[in-house]
Amino acid sequence: MKKKTKISIIIVTVLVVLAVLLVPIPRWLKDGGTVQYNALLYSVHQVHSLNLVGGYDVGTRVRVLFWTVFDNVHPE
């Protein structure tokens, strides 16, 4: 094979792998308005859910792999 075709195959393969790992799939929960965006490497949860005390929990939670890197969910 020529060098250009090998490089183009590698580039296309890398782009497909990145698309699979980084493109999120949205999911809407029936708990008051929470939206979850889940990809294989990260997840973003925009929380708007009913809490036990009365009222709502509102905020955003970001997880990369298995670690929470940002969490500002608070009751309103």
Cα 37–42–45 angle (5° rounding)?
35
Go through the chain and tell me how many residues it has: 76
CA distances from 24 to 27, 47, 58, 59 (A): 10, 16, 21, 19
**Given the structure tokens 């990369």, which residue do they identify?**
64
* Tokens found for residue 29: 């929960």
Long-range contacts of 36-45 (CB under 8 A, 24+ apart): 41/65
Each residue's pLDDT tens digit, 5-63? 999 999 999 999 999 999 999 999 988 889 999 999 999 999 999 888 888 899 999 99
Whether pLDDT at 1 is above 80? no
Model pTM? Answer: 0.79
Whether pLDDT at 4 is above 90? no
The pLDDT value recorded for residue 3 is: 85
